[in-house]
Every structure is written in C-alpha cells, then in structure tokens.
Structure 1
C-alpha cells in the first residue's frame, strides 16, 4: 500500500481548496508541496499579502490540531476499554523501544563485541524513540488534562 500524496490527504484537499478561494496565486504556489511543513514554507516565501498567508497557515494548524485531537480521543477510548491489550499497548511499546535501543547502544559502544549500528539507522532510531516518547508522554498529559476539564 503506497502512502497518500499530500494533495490527496484531508489537510491537503482543505488547503488547496482554501488557497484557491483566498488567493489563487497561493494555490499556484502550493502545487508540488508534499507536506504541511513544505506548504507553510511555500506560503511564507510567496508574494501574497500577509493577511492571506496568515489565513492559510491558520487553516493548516487548525486541521492538524483536529487530527491530533482525533488521535487523542482514540487513545482515550483505548484506555477506557476493558481490553488489557488496548490499555497497555503504548506502555509496552515504550518499554520495548527503550530496552531494545538501550541494548543496541550498549552493544555498539563495547569495542570487543563486533556489533555496529550502521550510520543510516541512527536517524531512524532517533525519530522512532522521539515519536514513541512524545506520543506516550504527550498523549498521557493530554488525556489527564482532558479528564480534569471533564470533571469540572
């Protein structure tokens, strides 16, 4: 299964539609962008009026926030379920990643053991660990904050 092109995603469709309504010039600037980050950079660099740039950037951020809220609500539903697995999948992934990456780092640092992590994997390991840790702790913080607001 191939990854959706940015223009075929919800954010991309919303952005291209809004850009053509707000300022057709910005719609042309956005042709070929492949991510929200590239879209924001293209909008910032364009010659369009600042007001139009701000409108489009706000649309991008609002849509991304909606997607994050949807993920958070799925995680909240998982944590409320009766299934042991759905309640514990995030902590288990976090523990697994920390153990595996720590073990690999230790093995890589001992010169007498012929184990080396290839340079191309360093970036991948860093991104995976960052995503898992941010998702776990960021998700837990969001869940707790939303529970506090629901109780009030």
Structure 2
C-alpha cells in the first residue's frame, strides 16, 4: 500500500503543482504583453485569463498532494521526522503565498487590464517575486522529499 500511496503522491505533485508553477511564472510577462497590445488597440486577455484559470484549477487539485503525503508518511511511519516537518511547514508557506499573494494579484491584474487602466511594471514585478518565492519553496520541498536527511536509502 505504501508504494501505491507514494506513487499517487508523486503523480499528484507532478500533475497538479507543475502546471501551477509554470502558469504562474508565465503570467507576469503575459500580462505585460497584453497591456502593451491594449495600448496599440489590440487587447487580448485570453492568454492571461487562461494562465490564471490554470493556476486556480490546479491549485485546487494540488490539495491532493499534502493529503496523499500525510497518508504516505503515516504508512511509512515517518510522521515525526524532521525533514517531513520542515516539508509540511514549507508546503503550508507555499500554499499560503499562492492563496494570499499570487492568485489575488493575478485577479487584480486581470481587472486592471480589462478596465484598460495603466499597468505599472512594479505590479507585475511584485507578482513575479511572489511567484518566484512560491516556486522556490516547492523546489526545496522536492529536494527534501528526495534527499530525506537521515533516511536509510543511502541518498
């Protein structure tokens, strides 16, 4: 059962978190391009809206990752391990950044672009910064999951 849970956990992470990290990373530049196109009278928010939808939908699917992770950790008997506690804390921080900063700022930028208001570079730069922190946290969690300090796998 442990192998099945671990497989589902890893697959959920790849399928759910991967698209969020990519789409969120692409969003600021797409918003700047959409704003530039709007200034020339050719506004098209399709790409920006699609990237935001990918982020929202896959963020919800991403809830399966920690749920499967807890089930896997319980089956493996590693719930009290330090590396797992650190991974849980970093996962919670990444989810918090996504929910509190990335998705709401994407909403705000879409509203700004839709209303044909001026878009400041600092707005997209700040979003890119929060997205970068989100992505960095997931990279660290991935490394912790692979290396697992103190594991008996020899990794």
Instruction: Give the TM-score, by structure 1 length.
Output: 0.36
Asked which structure has the greater RCO (Cα within 8 Å, sep 6+), the reply is: 2
Q: Quick check: which has more Rg, 1 or 2?
A: 1
